[in-house]
Amino acid sequence: MTKKANFILSIISALILTALISHERAFALLAIPFLFLLGAGLLTFSRVGEVYVSRTLTCTRGKEGQVFGMSLTVTNTGTAGINLGLDEGLLPGMELLEGRLKQNVTLPAGCSLVTGYTFSAKRGRYRWNGYHMTRKDLFGFIESSLDVPAVSELIVLPEAERLRNPNIKPQNTLHTPGLNLSHQPGTGTDFWGVREYHSGDSMRWIDWRHSARQPNKIITKEFEREEIADIGILLDARRVTNRVPGMDDLFERSVRATLSLAESFIRSGNRVSLMVLGRTLMRVFPGSGKQQLIRIQEKLAACELSDNPGLDSLRYLPVKLFPSRAMVVLVSPLRSRDAEVIKRMHGNGYQVIVLSPDPLGQLLPEDTTETDALAFRAARLERAVLLWQIRRLGVEVIDWPANEPLQAVLQASSPVQRRLKRIN
């Protein structure tokens, strides 16, 4: 019996007790309506009844900001009617837009009820295992919990910024046609040089000017071969680097940047892999094409910040997890001890590019004390020195301020500038 029933019973007991003590039968008679109410509730409670629930989502994959619909069909498959309290709790990250999550319904035998609601959700993976209901009487005096299996899953993908020409060039390429300049002659669109004409070369590329100066020789143009490259993206999901007071969306920015870069590289035909440093090492093995992009999207949708003490420093990260001579893009706000692993990766032949969202921001809040201002200044200096140390290794570093879009930051500097930028 519920607290409500106990409350009514207490009133009945108090009235009867008062009647006995005061010899005033009006108190005992006043208890009768309370008794009748309690009895009516107990008698309308149905102990039998089988319920089946099916759950349907309007789509199982979507993006942040999209509106999703959930439809629930509750069917009474028993031989007797049943009163139910329906209670669907929202999962963390969801926001109800329309519809009811809680309601009391009467379901005759063999009848179905269709109910639903619309919601929006943040990036993540949402899974429903069952549906919680309460078998109850009309007044809530008796309740019996009922959890019926109703499985469904939703993946909300992060929003990606479409990058046009991200200005990140891999130095090493694979011998497969693509869009990256390979620094070798072959078929392409960028002019490479001239050479003597060989039988089988296309007549269209004969350099007539050069040929006119060379008696008995025909000179043909050569172009720079365009190939695909192996690109690995390493996303830092450690809580120690991403939890900054006043910047709740630092990690989300990193996730969106990772997806934007992955999309851009895959669109160019490159072979892309992903590694997320979180509770465990989450990997997407190298691949290309739309399927690879879907795998990366799903992995990024599910990744969360984690407190793994073993990964507080990247010192123990095995650096040979990417294909040899691949370009590795590290997306991380960085900590002071991370320079060491970047150095190791660079030493192992990887072309390392660091995209670092600035965790400090440029402006201090208005109510900052002098001590806080000094601490902020020290933190900025520490970060500047760290970036300079990494650049000194010959690694490209892209310092990404909080208030600027990624496209603008990537376009603003060339690879050479990123390697040579001094401390300001």
- Binds another protein (CB under 8 A): choice among 6, 22, 145, 280: 22
Alpha carbon distance 40, 137 (integer Å): 9
HSE-CB of 163 using CA atoms within 13 angstroms: 25
145 forms part of the interface with another protein (CB under 8 A): no
Buried b (16+ CB within 10 A) or exposed e, 231-254: bbbbbbbbbbbbebeebeebbbbb
246: left (phi over 0), alpha (psi -120 to 50) or beta: left
- Tally of CB atoms within 10 A around 183: 12
Using the minimum distance from each CB to another protein, give the nearer residue, 46 or 273.
46
Using the minimum distance from each CB to another protein, give the nearer residue, 31 or 257.
31
Q: Is the dihedral of CA 319, 381, 168, 330 positive or negative?
A: positive
Quick note: the x/- pattern for another protein over 35-64, rule CB under 8 A, is xxx-xx--xx-x------------------
**Nearest distance in Å: CB 88, another protein:** 13
Using the minimum distance from each CB to another protein, give the nearer residue, 81 or 415.
81
337 forms part of the interface with another protein (CB under 8 A): no
153 forms part of the interface with another protein (CB under 8 A): no
- Binds another protein (CB under 8 A): choice among 58, 66, 71, 106: 106
- Binds another protein (CB under 8 A): choice among 65, 110, 246, 394: 110
109 forms part of the interface with another protein (CB under 8 A): yes
- 212: exposed, middle or buried (C-beta count within 10 Å: 0-12, 13-18, 19+)? exposed
- Binds another protein (CB under 8 A): choice among 25, 162, 204, 209: 25
- In the window 73-102, what residues touch another protein (CB under 8 A)? 78-83, 98-100, 102
Using the minimum distance from each CB to another protein, give the nearer residue, 40 or 67.
40
Q: Residues interacting with another protein, by CB under 8 A? A: 4, 7, 11, 15, 18, 22, 24-27, 29-30, 32-37, 39-40, 43-44, 46, 78-83, 98-100, 102-111, 113-115, 138-140
